[in-house]
Amino acid sequence: MRRTAAFAIAAVLALSAPAARGATSATIVSHEEEKYFFEGGRMSRFEGQFEHTYFLDNVKGVLVRTRTYDYRAKRITPDETVYRIERSLHSDPTNSDRYSLTPVIRAIGVPDGDHVETLTVTDKEVVSSLAAPGKLILSRSRRLK
């Protein structure tokens, strides 16, 4: 009986650990399908042009964009933009089971000195919104990996 109780307690603790609810690290690749630019009171739509690769580190609570591939120009640009994952949201993968929600990663980063970017990552897509002085850029990407 004691062994059964000890096993049950160990199982509950293991299943409630963040690493058990999701991978401690993963690679995410997304292929941009469309992009919108809002500037000067006008919105313009463009076809996607980039494929982004991210490294998800659940232990540190960060998502790092490691490279950007321009599939029109066939050019790879290394990137080291770090996005802080917002863990307090109910749909964050570390909380979503508790609230019966679909896991969604939301992260905030600063790709350069004057831009702020938010990422929303689901199992099917990555949505980015980038705010800069006088403009807003929205992009929707299909998740490949």
The per-residue pLDDT for range 19-65, each reduced to its tens digit, is 334 568 999 999 999 999 999 999 999 999 999 999 999 999 999 99
Domain span at residue 85?
A: 23-143
Q: Give pLDDT, residue 9.
A: 39
Count of structural domains, the chain: 1
Q: How confident is the prediction for the chain on average, in pLDDT?
A: 86
Tell me which residue of 129, 119, 130, 137 sits closest to 53, measured CA to CA: 119
The per-residue pLDDT for range 55-108, each reduced to its tens digit, is 999 999 999 999 999 999 999 999 999 999 999 999 998 888 889 999 999 999
Where do the DSSP E strands lie in the chain?
25-39, 42-47, 50-57, 62-70, 75-85, 105-109, 116-121, 125-132, 135-143
CATH number at residue 83: 2.40.128
Tokens of 144: 């490949």
Whether 6 maps to a domain, the answer reads: no
This model's pTM is above 0.85: no
Q: Which residues pair with 25 in a beta bridge?
A: 57
